[in-house]
A and B are shown apart, each in its own frame.
Chain A
Amino acid sequence: MTSTAPPTPATLPLGDDALILSHRLGEWAGHAPVLEEEVALANIALDLLGQARALYTGLADVLGSEDEIAFLREERAFRNCQLVEQPNGDFAHTIVRQLFFSTYQQPLYARLSPVLPLAAKAVRETAYHRDHAEQWTLRLGDGTEESHGRTQRAVDTLWRYTGELFQPIEGLEVDWQELAEEWSAGVRDVFDRAGLTVPEGPREGAWSAGAGRQGLHTEPFGRLLAEMQHLHRSHPGATW
Chain B
Amino acid sequence: MSTDWPLWEVFVRSRRGLSHTHAGSLHAPDAQMALRNARDLFTRRSEGVSLWVVPSSEITASSPDEKDPFFEPAADKAYRHPTFYEVPEGVRNL
Whether chain A touches chain B in the assembled complex (some CB pair under 8 Å): yes
Residues of A within 8 A of B (CB): 34, 36, 39-40, 43, 46-47, 50, 119, 121, 124-125, 127-128, 131-132, 135, 139, 144
Instruction: Please determine whether B69 and A40 come into contact, CB atoms closer than 8 angstroms.
Output: no
Instruction: Please determine whether A39 and B40 come into contact, CB atoms closer than 8 angstroms.
Output: yes
Instruction: Please determine whether B77 and A36 come into contact, CB atoms closer than 8 angstroms.
Output: no
**Of A39, A46, A135, A144, which one neighbours B77 at CB under 8 angstroms?**
A46
Chain A binder among B15-23, B26-34, B83-91: B26-34
Instruction: Please determine whether B32 and A135 come into contact, CB atoms closer than 8 angstroms.
Output: yes
Residues of B contacting A124 in the complex (Cβ-Cβ under 8 angstroms) = 67-69, 72-73
| Nearest residue, chain A, Cβ from B70 | A128
Instruction: Please determine whether A43 and B69 come into contact, CB atoms closer than 8 angstroms.
Output: no
Instruction: Please determine whether A36 and B26 come into contact, CB atoms closer than 8 angstroms.
Output: yes
Instruction: Please determine whether B37 and A36 come into contact, CB atoms closer than 8 angstroms.
Output: yes
**Of A39, A119, A128, which one neighbours B76 at CB under 8 angstroms?**
A119
Cα separation A166 to B75 with both chains bound (whole Å):
31
Cα separation A179 to B19 with both chains bound (whole Å):
42
Residues of B within 8 A of A (CB): 1, 5, 26-29, 32-33, 36-37, 40-41, 44, 67-70, 72-77
| Nearest residue, chain B, Cβ from A136 | B33
| Nearest residue, chain B, Cβ from A39 | B40
**Of B1, B5, B40, B75, which one neighbours A40 at CB under 8 angstroms?**
B40
Residues of B contacting A47 in the complex (Cβ-Cβ under 8 angstroms) = 73
Q: Pick 10 A–B contacts, CB within 8 A, sort by A.
A: A36-B28, A36-B33, A43-B44, A43-B74, A47-B73, A124-B73, A125-B69, A125-B72, A131-B69, A132-B36
A121 touching B76 in the complex, CB below 8 Å, given contacts A39-B40, A128-B70, A131-B69: yes
Residues of A contacting B5 in the complex (Cβ-Cβ under 8 angstroms) = 34
Residues of A contacting B70 in the complex (Cβ-Cβ under 8 angstroms) = 128
Cα separation A125 to B68 with both chains bound (whole Å):
9
A34 touching B27 in the complex, CB below 8 Å, given contacts A39-B40, A124-B68: yes
Cα separation A146 to B27 with both chains bound (whole Å):
22
Residues of A contacting B28 in the complex (Cβ-Cβ under 8 angstroms) = 36
A36 touching B69 in the complex, CB below 8 Å, given contacts A121-B75, A121-B76, A135-B32: no
A128 touching B73 in the complex, CB below 8 Å, given contacts A36-B26, A135-B33: yes
**Of B1, B33, B37, B67, which one neighbours A144 at CB under 8 angstroms?**
B1
Instruction: Please determine whether B29 and A121 come into contact, CB atoms closer than 8 angstroms.
Output: no
Residues of A contacting B74 in the complex (Cβ-Cβ under 8 angstroms) = 43
Residues of B contacting A135 in the complex (Cβ-Cβ under 8 angstroms) = 32-33, 36
| Nearest residue, chain B, Cβ from A127 | B69
Instruction: Please determine whether A50 and B76 come into contact, CB atoms closer than 8 angstroms.
Output: yes
| Nearest residue, chain B, Cβ from A46 | B77
Cα separation A128 to B70 with both chains bound (whole Å):
7
Residues of B contacting A144 in the complex (Cβ-Cβ under 8 angstroms) = 1
Cα separation A47 to B41 with both chains bound (whole Å):
15
Instruction: Please determine whether B41 and A121 come into contact, CB atoms closer than 8 angstroms.
Output: no
User: In the complex, what's the smallest C-beta–C-beta distance from A235 to chain B, in angstroms?
Assistant: 21
